[in-house]
Amino acid sequence: MKFKIAKPVILASASPRRKEILSLLDFPITVIPSLVSEDIDVPTDDFAAYARELASMKTSAVAKEHDNHIVIGADTIVVHEGKLYSKPNSKEQAKTFLQELSGKTHTVITGVGIFEGGILRVFSVETAVTFRELDDVLIDAYVDSGDSMDKAGGYGIQTAGALLVEKIDGDYYNVMGLPLAKLTEHLRRLALIALKDGDPYIAY
């Protein structure tokens, strides 16, 4: 499917995975990474709010300089048993993450911000991911590949990290870093994008 856009779109993220996902809508995208710090307090009872706050910060930082654009920002986190699993800062931490998630179900939460016309709207999507029982040989080989290091929770479902996953319940693209179906729904409802054939820009 091909979509038309009401205004130029900026993706406020350096993630190649998010660019790849958003490109599926087949309209031009400009990438301007947000450089805001992620150093904010992590709540112990509402991780979705934390993901939305990060998405809001990233989107707003880019939108300040491009208020005549549609700006989309996002942040993805992994949560298990009340603990936040960020991007690992070492191979040792990545191995620990995967050992702790082995054989269990964790939650991937992506917060998404949409800025347009001076208004910022934010939402979040959650997907449950269940890992297989992982042996140390597999964990070591995966971490040594380098794939763990720039991904929340220490794995990427779209790469060899798929070998770690038993099943998912929810949006696959959300686990990759951008819940495309829900984002598209919001953009269409806001009359910011429309299908090229017979789909007018009408908010509903």
For residue 204, what pLDDT is reported?
41
Q: How far apart are CA 40 and CA 126, in angstroms?
A: 21
Q: Which residues are catalytic?
A: 75
Per-10-residue mean pLDDT, the chain, length 204: 91 95 95 83 82 95 94 96 93 97 98 96 98 97 94 95 97 98 96 80 52
Q: How far apart are CA 96 and CA 75, in angstroms?
A: 22
What's the pTM? 0.92
Q: Note whether 31 and 10 are within 8 A (CB).
A: yes
For residue 2, what pLDDT is reported?
83
For residue 12, what pLDDT is reported?
97
For residue 201, what pLDDT is reported?
61
CATH of segment(s) 3-195: 3.90.950.10
Q: Note whether 142 and 98 are within 8 A (CB).
A: yes
For residue 36, what pLDDT is reported?
82
Residue listed under structure tokens 């449950």: 128
Q: Where are the domains positioned within the chain?
A: 3-195
Q: Note whether 1 and 194 are within 8 A (CB).
A: no
Question: What Cα–Cα distance (Å) separates residue 98 from each residue in 31, 130, 136, 158?
Answer: 31, 12, 9, 16
For residue 162, what pLDDT is reported?
96
Smallest CA-to-CA distance from 92 within 148, 135, 134, 42 is with: 148
Backbone region of residue 54 per phi and psi (left: phi > 0; alpha: psi in -120 to 50; beta: other values): alpha
